[in-house]
Amino acid sequence: MKKLLAEFFGTFWLVFGGCGSAVFAAAFPELGIGFTGVALAFGLTVLTMAYAVGHVSGAHFNPAVSIGLWTGGKFPAKELLGYILAQVIGAVAAAGLLFMILTGKSDFVDIGSFAANGYGELSPGGYDMMSVLITEFVLTMFFLLIILGSTYPKAPKGFAGIAIGLALTLIHLISIPISNTSVNPARSTSQAIFAGGEFTAQLWLFWLAPIAGALVAGFIHKTLFSKA
Length of the chain counted residue by residue: 228
Q: What percent of the chain has pLDDT over 90?
A: 88
User: Does residue 228 surpass a pLDDT of 60?
Assistant: no
How confident is the model over 149-166, as pLDDT tens digits?
Answer: 999 888 888 899 999 999
pLDDT for 157 equals 87
How confident is the model over 16-63, as pLDDT tens digits?
Answer: 999 999 999 988 777 789 999 999 999 999 999 999 999 999 999 999
At residue 226, what are phi and psi to the nearest 5 degrees? -65, -20
Q: Please give the radius of gyration of the chain, using alpha carbons only, rounded to the nearest integer.
A: 17
Q: How confident is the model at residue 93 (pLDDT cuts 50, 70, 90)?
A: very high
Q: What angle, rounded to 10 degrees, do the helices at 205-220 and 63-71 form? A: 30
Name the CATH superfamily for 2-225: Glycerol uptake facilitator protein. (1.20.1080.10)
User: Does residue 15 surpass a pLDDT of 60?
Assistant: yes
Instruction: Compute the Cα dihedral for 118, 72, 149, 61 and give only its sign.
Output: positive
Region of 75 please: left (phi>0), alpha (psi -120 to 50) or beta.
beta
